Amino acid sequence: MDVAMTAPALYESVVTHTRHGDIPRTFRHRLYTWLVDLDELPELPPWLRPFARFDARDHLAPTASQSGETWTPGLPHRVSRMSAGC
């Protein structure tokens, strides 16, 4: 598998919510998403360990496989279609 496809990545995003009514309201919230491969979790540097950790139990049900096959069937197909602009 390509290293670029499995390397951890930080994505910057903006969520916008708008209400249309008598008093229209809109807000924007900036957020960051750190995507990692659950099968190859990165080892955090010592200075960051008190503030963050990676634990598969935070993301998978106790009966789910570590590889994620039981909870993401078809996900690679959907992601590849999104990447291709379909």
**Mean pLDDT confidence for 64-79:** 52
Residue 20 lies in a domain: yes
Residue 63 domain-assigned?
yes
Q: For residue 1, tell me if it sits in a domain.
A: no
* pLDDT above 90 as % of the chain: 21
Could you tell me if residue 73 is inside a domain?
A: yes
Range of the domain at 12: 7-83
| Structure confidence at residue 81 (pLDDT) | 47
Domain tally, the chain: 1
Would you state the torsion angle of the CA atoms of residues 49, 8, 3, 57, taken in this order, to the nearest 10 degrees?
Answer: 70
- 39: number of Cβ within 10 Å: 11
Asked, for residue 56, whether it belongs to a domain, the answer is yes
| In a domain? residue 2 | no
Q: Is residue 32 part of a domain?
A: yes
CA dihedral 9, 4, 49, 60 (to 10 degrees): 80
Tens-place pLDDT, residues 19-56: 998 998 999 999 988 887 777 777 888 998 888 877 76
Quick one: pLDDT at residue 54?
A: 74
Residue 11, in any domain of the structure: yes
